[in-house]
Amino acid sequence: MILCANFKANKTRQETRAYMAVVESFVSANEIDDIVMVFPPFTALEHLSRNVLIGVQNAYPAQNGAYTGEITLEQLEEFGVKTILIGHSERRHVLGETQEHIAAKFRFFAEKGFAIIYCVGEPLEIREQGDEALMRYVDTQFVGIDCNYTDLIIAYEPVWAIGTGLTPTSDQIVDMHAALRTKTSAPLLYGGSVKVDNASSIMALENVEGVLVGSASLSANDFCEMIAQASQLKQNERENECL
Ligand code: PGA
């Protein structure tokens, strides 16, 4: 399983340090072999990453240059960051990133060998138009994206489920992940109102290989609990195989 904590614009450097101390010691004390990633705000980046991968929530696709307010590859390299979220719905819908810009970002960071967590997902009005419209919409989010890129992870995050407490039904997640599976062999994550109460059942669904967690990941203890659930699922699977 792959478990990602997306802090968005939350936590100071000091709070992030304290958080990382909790999660890193949990991961080593419990010999967790699932992949755990944290995406803090830029101001909390530090050049240290032990058993938890640190990624960024965004960056501008350039080595450096005149891009006021952005950060580029040069600044990421200083912190040894090699993991990036691209296409998150807040970048698309709140910050107005176009598919063209997102694809340019994807190409740039893929060329630099980054692990890319590429997010797709539909707004509610599209979901309400039925399956065909839904898939047509999600397809547009793959324009210019290389689904065969080796270091790719896809996160399906319905816009209407992000930060709302609403989650799709299990069938809706399974159907979307099955459709995504026909496009790519990359691991598929689900994101959108994942929390301690539903993480385990979501991770147990077919073609769900992890979760991208926003609000509920802000508590280090809750995030650790979700990591423990992933580990427990794997343990159960092993036991079932032995029966
Ligand atoms: P949420 O956010 O868990 O708060 O819904 C998920 C995300 O935006 O990645």
Residue 192 in contact with ligand 1 by CB distance below 6 A? yes
In this prediction, residue 99 carries a pLDDT of 98
Alpha-carbon gap, residue 47 to 139, rounded angstroms: 37
- Please give the average per-residue pLDDT across 2-28, as a whole number: 97
Q: For residue range 57-103, list pLDDT tens digits in order.
A: 999 999 999 999 999 999 999 999 999 999 999 999 999 999 999 99
Residues 6+ apart with CB under 8 A from 72: 59, 60, 61, 62, 63, 64, 65
Centre of ligand 1 from the C-alpha of residue 128, in Å: 21
Closest CA to 189 of 82, 57, 60, 35: 35
Protein residue with its CA nearest to atom 6 in ligand 1 = 214
pLDDT band with cut points at 50, 70 and 90 for residue 47 = confident
Centre of ligand 1 from the C-alpha of residue 5, in Å: 9
Give the mean pLDDT of the chain: 96
In this prediction, residue 104 carries a pLDDT of 98
CA distances for 80 relative to 2, 76, 113, angstroms = 20, 6, 12
Which active-site residues does the annotation give? 88, 157
pTM above 0.85, yes or no: yes
In this prediction, residue 49 carries a pLDDT of 65
Instruction: Domains for the chain: give ranges and CATH numbers.
Output: 2-242 (3.20.20.70)
